[in-house]
Amino acid sequence: MEKNISEKVSCLIIGSGPAGYTAAIYASRANLHPVLYQGIQPGGQLTITTEVENYPGYPDGIQGPEMMVHFEKQAIRMGADIRYGLATDIDFSSHPLKVQIDEEKWIEANSVIICTGASAKWLGLPSEQRLNGFGVSACAVCDGFFFKGKEVAIVGAGDTAAEEALYLSKLCSTVHMIVRKNQMRASKVMQDRVINTPNIKVYWDAETDEIIGDKKVEAVRIRNKINNELTTIPVSAFFVAIGHEPNSSIFKKAIDMDETGYIKTIPGTSKTNVAGVFAAGDVQDKNYRQAVTAAGSGCMAALDAERYLGEKGLH
């Protein structure tokens, strides 16, 4: 297929969020003249988060969307070219690397930093989306603190759900854990920890029927799948821990990934299997998924890109 190249850039950053904006700040300071395309959700997952209290430098906390505005402004002040647009196709078979934007124009880049993030999987309930940010959350580590001493619910059955339930059990009075089957997918050691934690109550063979509340979460109604019995549990928060999906599908034909689609990077670096292509943030991190770790990996990616371009004489 003939590609009409509309532009050539030294460093192309795909995705915004803490990883993308931090990469843009560092790449700008290294005179790489980065071009950043913000993607479908400018600012990433933090734009659907309310209060952020665990990012260093904000003693009083900050709203997620406001924090991402700060990141973006700093990147622009350093000289980054920030644009609206979505990467829709790639050709990494030869250098320069090629990326298609909005299914129309192609850009040639000497280096590419992938910061497309991951999206939380949701149950698909209208009440879940309506109360998202008002007691409904996909990150217990981010938001559990706001419900200290209160009763909360968590849905999920894997290691992440078990870890988050245990984390919440240290903060909250009772954790109601909703599990769809009569067993968990989590590792045996994690299951044992959950079952042996006195303030975690597990509901087996249960599914979420409705999250109840007008302006904030007030209760959750669950359905027993065996006898169809409905139970309403008063809670102040509802945590969804059924997994995340990395936004990596357009890179599958060129970039090595694990079985769930997370981009593989060489340990201790942001380097992928393709020379000149780097990955940072949640698209390559299934373990931590925090704003501060994403920002750190964005810094690594920009430094790795700078070194790569320098070695190739493309700086």
Catalytically annotated residues: 139, 142-143
- Beta carbons within 8 Å of 222's beta carbon, 6+ residues apart: 178, 203, 206, 207, 208, 209, 230, 231, 233
Residue ranges of alpha helices (H) inside 151-290 are: 159-169, 188-195
Answer for the pair 179, 157: CB distance below 8 angstroms, yes or no. yes
Beta bridge partners of 13: 36, 113
> Can you list the positions of beta strands (E) in the chain?
5-14, 35-37, 51-52, 62-63, 81-83, 87-91, 97-101, 105-114, 118-120, 136-137, 151-155, 174-178, 200-203, 206-212, 219-224, 230-234, 237-240, 244-246, 277-279
The CA distance from 7 to 161, in Å, is 45
Answer for the pair 155, 123: CB distance below 8 angstroms, yes or no. yes
> 237-240 and 151-155 as β-strands: parallel, antiparallel, unpaired?
parallel
